[in-house]
């Protein structure tokens, strides 16, 4: 950039010699050299500008790539409660739109800002070299343009924050609507959703118009300064050529010097006109950086306490997996006076129970009694407020998170299938360790094979986003197959057969009962799902109110007996 800009500054000097030495002094012998100089400047600029543009684009793309992956890695490191308080549309806006604006400032606009500075410094140097008194005019013009740009940046800074926030809201509204488009159509809410999107779209439009008003208010002022600058420089420079400079004892400028000076003035106009546009881009990127810094300022509530995990941080995946595999987890689970509160609301209160490896625990309770929260605490999606949870006698907070979570297979209420093949969904997170025969076995045990085999490509069939194209029962059976294929020490089924017919549910329960060497936790509303469990606990308002086997709980005549009577 410096080399290209220096060549640009040399061009007016050649024009000065052509006017003074060739046209006025009639020294025709130097014309060829001067013309070759102009040609050389053109070739040199071509080479240096191309190199500058390529390196700029390469560096900018690399920066954006690293910012985006670092941001995504940061988001992945945050705990579940962070995602409870932010919507996916806003996160998508930050990962895509905000990083794109940083890309702009790191590449195209960033290089222009640097070029404006270098060109201004070099141009002023050559102008002062020709006539320092005359050079004061463009310096004053430059200062005026800078003041206007600063005023404009202050107003744009506030507006860009509002524009980006509203853009996030609009993205989230669209994403939410598209994700639930079948529900929208089922309830004939198209008009309502269109009106809701229109409200955000209109607000986004109005904020952008406000941005435009600021830009068109200040930018013409800079344009006016550049036009006046040219006229004043030509007028005063012409007087110095004809009558001489009174501040220098009547010393005159040559016509060539005036021509060169006017070319330098023309070179100053571009940086001055760019100030407004660059201020606009800088304000946009500045607002994006602020939004990203809010995410970087977030700290995960669930932190890695294990010394082993800390020591393997940054190690390659194979080494980390090998070190974590040294934990031979059998599946003994104990909750010791566990309390969990979210804000001021206590969800679990002094919960205690234990289960031996290979046994089955049934958990029952009304909606909102804290059943799913127990599982989220077991997987350390959240940490207990008080008490402790132990796996094989080790506090789970002392286990490496990968070890803990790989030891537990879950089939949760909220079924999530990726837009991938059925095989890919079953081998999720363990593609290298789960074999094709194991996938097939899991499909048969979960009674998924009966509908998968009817598909044209069987387990290689690609299913849509979130399992679109499959029924609720089919999606549930695929997630059960995913859990069975992993062969983990602990298997959790959170109301996982609710979408199945009674016959299929009984067949899957028979398969689960035959699984040996695996601790099973079954959360259900149906007595039939838990009646064969080694131990059943009943939750009510976050507390364990009953505990025992099926027969023992029936004899108690409490909540479990009431549920049994209502179902049978």
List, for residues 7-17, the tens digit of each pLDDT value. Answer: 888 888 888 88
pLDDT band at 47 (very low <50, low <70, confident <90, very high): very high
Kind and range of the H or E run holding 285: helix 255-296
Total domains present in the chain: 2
Q: Is 247 exposed, middle or buried (0-12, 13-18, 19+ CB in 10 A)?
A: exposed
What would the DSSP string read from start to end of 59-114? HHHHHHHHHHHHHHHHHHHS-HHHHHTS-HHHHHHIIIIIHHHHHHHHTHHHHHHH
Please, are residues 494 and 523 in contact by the beta-carbon 8 Å criterion?
yes
pLDDT exceeds cutoff 80 at 509:
no
pLDDT exceeds cutoff 70 at 246:
no
The CATH number of the domain holding residue 37 is 1.20.1560.10
C-alpha–C-alpha distance, residues 289 and 105, integer Å: 11
Length reported for the chain: 568
List, for residues 458-499, the tens digit of each pLDDT value. Answer: 878 877 665 566 777 778 788 888 888 878 888 888 876 665
Nearest one of 95, 1, 103 to 61, comparing CA atoms: 103
Least confident stretch, 10-19, 275-284, 366-375: 275-284
Please, are residues 244 and 251 in contact by the beta-carbon 8 Å criterion?
yes
pLDDT exceeds cutoff 70 at 142:
yes
C-alpha–C-alpha distance, residues 304 and 402, integer Å: 10
C-alpha–C-alpha distance, residues 236 and 245, integer Å: 9
Per-residue pLDDT, averaged over 98-104, amounts to 84
Residue 199, domain member (yes or no): yes
Mean pLDDT of the chain: 80
Please, are residues 439 and 343 in contact by the beta-carbon 8 Å criterion?
no
Residue 130's alpha-carbon distances to 69, 255, 294, 354, in angstroms, are: 51, 12, 51, 90
Domain that holds residue 457: 323-567
Residues 337, 287 share a domain: no
Residues 355, 282 share a domain: no
Residues 356, 267 share a domain: no
pLDDT exceeds cutoff 60 at 317:
no
**pLDDT > 70 in the chain, percent:** 92
Residues 352, 256 share a domain: no
pLDDT exceeds cutoff 50 at 315:
no
Spatial neighbors of 468 by CB under 8 A, at least 6 apart, are none
Residues 139, 245 share a domain: yes
Residue 317, domain member (yes or no): no
C-alpha–C-alpha distance, residues 183 and 181, integer Å: 5
C-alpha–C-alpha distance, residues 409 and 483, integer Å: 5
Residues 257, 332 share a domain: no
pLDDT exceeds cutoff 60 at 172:
yes
C-alpha–C-alpha distance, residues 169 and 382, integer Å: 27
Please, are residues 479 and 413 in contact by the beta-carbon 8 Å criterion?
no
Residues 332, 267 share a domain: no
Neighbours of 118 (CB within 10 A): 16
Residue 8 DSSP SS3: helix
Residues 180, 71 share a domain: yes
Residues 256, 206 share a domain: yes
Residues 292, 382 share a domain: no
Nearest one of 458, 378, 472, 380 to 426, comparing CA atoms: 458
Spatial neighbors of 118 by CB under 8 A, at least 6 apart, are 1, 2, 5
C-alpha–C-alpha distance, residues 337 and 543, integer Å: 10
Whether pTM exceeds 0.85: no
pLDDT exceeds cutoff 80 at 324:
no
Residue 435's alpha-carbon distances to 179, 215, 477, 541, in angstroms, are: 33, 61, 19, 43
Geometric angle at alpha carbon 39, from 35 and 42, rounded to 5°: 140
C-alpha–C-alpha distance, residues 196 and 201, integer Å: 9
| pLDDT at res. 313 | 55
Residue 46, domain member (yes or no): yes
Residue 310, domain member (yes or no): no
Per-residue pLDDT, averaged over 419-425, amounts to 79
Q: Which own/partner contact pairs does 343-349 have at CB distance under 8 Å and 24+ positions apart? A: 346/542, 347/373, 347/542, 348/373, 348/374, 348/377, 348/542, 348/543, 349/541, 349/542, 349/543
Neighbours of 497 (CB within 10 A): 24
Residues 357, 275 share a domain: no
The CATH number of the domain holding residue 525 is 3.40.50.300
Residue 94, domain member (yes or no): yes
Kind and range of the H or E run holding 491: strand 490-494
- Which tokens in the block code for residue 139? 């310096």
Per-residue pLDDT, averaged over 527-547, amounts to 86
Spatial neighbors of 104 by CB under 8 A, at least 6 apart, are 110, 281, 284, 285
Residues 346, 208 share a domain: no
Nearest one of 329, 346, 331 to 384, comparing CA atoms: 346
Residue 315, domain member (yes or no): no
C-alpha–C-alpha distance, residues 183 and 169, integer Å: 20
Residue 344, domain member (yes or no): yes
Neighbours of 324 (CB within 10 A): 20
- Which tokens in the block code for residue 305? 């306490």
Higher pLDDT, 514 or 66: 66
Residue 301, domain member (yes or no): no
Higher pLDDT, 183 or 71: 71
Nearest one of 427, 431, 400, 398 to 326, comparing CA atoms: 400
């Amino acid at each position: 950039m410096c080399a290209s800009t220096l060549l640009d500054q040399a061009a007016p000097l050649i024009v000065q010699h052509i006017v003074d030495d060739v046209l006025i002094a009639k020294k025709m012998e130097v014309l060829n050299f001067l013309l070759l100089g102009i040609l050389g400047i053109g070739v040199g600029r071509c080479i240096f500008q191309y190199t500058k543009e390529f390196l700029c684009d390469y560096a900018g793309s690399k920066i954006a790539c690293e910012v985006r992956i670092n941001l995504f890695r940061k988001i992945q490191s945050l705990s579940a409660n962070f995602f409870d308080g932010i919507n996916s549309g806003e996160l998508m806006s930050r990962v895509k739109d905000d990083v794109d604006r940083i890309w702009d400032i790191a590449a195209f606009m960033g290089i222009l800002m640097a070029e404006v500075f270098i060109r201004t410094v070099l141009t002023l140097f050559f102008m002062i070299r020709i006539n320092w008194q005359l050079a004061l005019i463009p310096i004053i013009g430059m200062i005026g343009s800078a003041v206007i740009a600063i005023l404009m940046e202050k107003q744009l800074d506030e507006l860009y924050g509002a524009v980006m926030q509203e853009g996030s809201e609009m993205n989230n509204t669209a994403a939410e609507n598209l994700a639930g488009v079948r529900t929208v159509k089922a309830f004939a809410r198209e008009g309502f959703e269109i009106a809701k999107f229109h409200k955000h779209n209109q607000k986004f439009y109005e904020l952008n118009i406000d941005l435009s008003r600021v830009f068109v208010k200040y930018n013409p002022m800079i344009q006016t300064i550049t036009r006046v600058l040219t006229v004043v420089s030509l007028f005063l420079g012409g007087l110095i050529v004809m009558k001489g400079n009174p501040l220098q004892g009547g010393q005159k400028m040559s016509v060539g010097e005036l021509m060169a000076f006017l070319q330098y003035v023309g070179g100053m106009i571009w940086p001055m006109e760019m100030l407004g546009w660059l201020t606009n881009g800088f304000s946009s990127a500045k607002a994006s950086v602020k939004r990203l810094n809010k995410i970087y300022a977030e700290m995960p509530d669930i932190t890695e306490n294990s010394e082993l995990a800390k020591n393997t941080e940054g190690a390659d995946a194979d080494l980390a997996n090998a070190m974590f595999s040294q934990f031979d987890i059998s599946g003994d689970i104990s909750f010791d006076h566990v309390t969990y509160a979210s804000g001021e609301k206590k969800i679990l209160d002094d919960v205690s129970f234990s289960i031996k490896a290979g046994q089955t625990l049934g958990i029952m309770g009304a909606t909102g009694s804290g059943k799913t929260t127990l599982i989220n605490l077991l997987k350390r999606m959240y940490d207990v407020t008080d008490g402790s949870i132990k796996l094989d006698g080790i506090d789970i907070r002392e286990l490496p998170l990968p070890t803990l979570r790989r030891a537990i297979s879950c089939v949760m209420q909220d079924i999530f299938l990726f837009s991938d093949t059925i095989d890919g969904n079953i081998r999720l997170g363990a593609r290298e360790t789960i074999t094709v025969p194991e996938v097939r076995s899991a499909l048969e045990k979960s009674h998924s094979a009966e509908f998968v085999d009817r598909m044209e490509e069987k387990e290689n069939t690609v299913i849509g986003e979130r399992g679109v194209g499959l029924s609720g029962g089919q999606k549930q059976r695929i997630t059960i197959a995913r859990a069975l294929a992993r062969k983990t020490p602990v298997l959790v089924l959170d109301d996982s057969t609710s979408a199945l017919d009674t016959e299929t549910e009984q067949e899957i329960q028979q398969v689960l009962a035959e699984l040996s060497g695996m601790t099973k936790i079954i959360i259900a509303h149906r007595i039939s799902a838990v009646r064969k469990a080694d131990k059943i606990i009943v939750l009510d308002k976050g507390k364990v109110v009953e505990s025992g086997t099926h027969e023992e709980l029936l004899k108690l005549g409490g909540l479990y007996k009431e549920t049994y009577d209502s179902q049978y």
